[in-house]
Copies of this chain bind each other. A is one copy, B any other.
Amino acid sequence: MKKVRIGVIGIGAMGSIHAKYLFDGRIPHAELTAVCDSNTERLDWAKQSFGDKVQLFDNSDLFFASKSCDAVMIATRHYDHPILAIQSLKEGCHTLIEKPAGVYTKAVREMNKVAQKSDKVFGIMYNQRTSPLYQKVKDLVESGELGKLKRTIWIITDWYRPQSYYDAGEWRATWRGEGGGVLLNQDPHQLDLWQWICGMPKRVRSFMTFGKYRDIEVEDDVTTFVEYDHGATGLFVTSTGEAPGTNRLEVSGDRGKVVIENDKLTFWRLRVPESEFNREFRGGFGSPECWKCEIPIHGENAQHIGIIKDWINAILNGTELLAPGVEGINGLTISNAMHLSAWTDRWVDIPFDEDLFYKKLKERIDHSTFQKRGGNETLDVSGTY
């Protein structure tokens, strides 16, 4: 079988890992043929790492003009994901973008329009969708084992980042450089999994602090309450300022609750649905019989490699993607709604006013007086996603 020729745009922290997987032959039926980065130091790194076997470009127009790739991975800064994805799809390349899909949904919506018109395979690096744990929760919810949902609570406060993380890149944790903090950088996975498992909220009320724990201008602590169409409520609590923090997802429904914590899934299963018990019980105090079930989790979490393989498989064999690129807008919609709610100290309905969001983001970029003390290092991100 012919190998898919892959190019990687953006070979910073994440992109260089992807390029190495490909170069090292860890993705069957795929080969690294080109990389592109505007930073000459990164191109020097690529030259040293890949020698003459991989073409190097310092701008995307030349990269695409070279026709050296059938498929492109985009691992640039967030703002450029939709811009480059649009260029890539229009150039006829299969495309896989890093998360988040972008910084603001207005741009991501344009990207999705292009993707929907394209016949190329468009994916997003939601590498936590490969987790058998979260796949199992999704299975329990979708199969009805949990019954009608009542509440979701995700406490995801274990994204600890010290000041030196923020100081390593001048673009980091600025409105201009990243367009947000913990929501845009650390939480895209959880925001995606949350909606993937529990559905999209219909309105959002969010509370944030900006630079509470670190010398940054964006959010480092977020608490959000949401309501769903299906009647349930939800909570999302996140921070980069806590250690050791917590990663605990609880989803409760008419037939019990599931909790994922410490990489373990437990299902407290009611013998009869709560609503049925409630209808029939006459004893005043009492509750439905509940079984604590340890749910087996099979399979490895293939993470980034899993997503890349899945994308290659879709390109070669027409399979369905585990993480379609157009779904990147969902988590970002929640993220943008959270920002808009915190900025305006109000409820935000979904869909929200995307022009208003963009205006308020732009104000923050334009009025930023924030001076970074940082430099421009490429951090080793192994094991941080």
Contacts and interface: CB of A to CB of B under 8 A. Distances in A.
Interface of A: 150-151, 153, 155, 157, 160-165, 168, 205, 207, 212-214, 221, 223, 225, 231, 233, 235, 237, 239, 241-246, 250, 252, 256-257, 259, 268, 270, 274, 277-279, 281-288, 290, 345, 347, 377, 379-381, 384
A252 B248 CA distance: 14
Given A244-B256, A246-B250, A164 B225 contact: no
Given A157-B252, A225-B225, A287 B237 contact: no
Given A157-B151, A162-B277, A285 B244 contact: no
Contacts of A151: 157, 237, 239, 242
A13 to B, nearest CB: 10
A271 to B, nearest CB: 10
A102 to B, nearest CB: 24
Q: Which 8 A-B pairs have the closest CB atoms?
A: A284-B379, A160-B287, A244-B290, A243-B274, A162-B278, A162-B281, A244-B268, A164-B282
Contacts of A153: 155, 237
A235 B248 CA distance: 15
Contacts of A257: 242, 244-246
9 contacts: A160-B274, A160-B287, A165-B284, A205-B205, A205-B207, A242-B274, A244-B268, A245-B257, A285-B380
A256 B274 contact: no
A154 to B, nearest CB: 12
A295 to B, nearest CB: 16
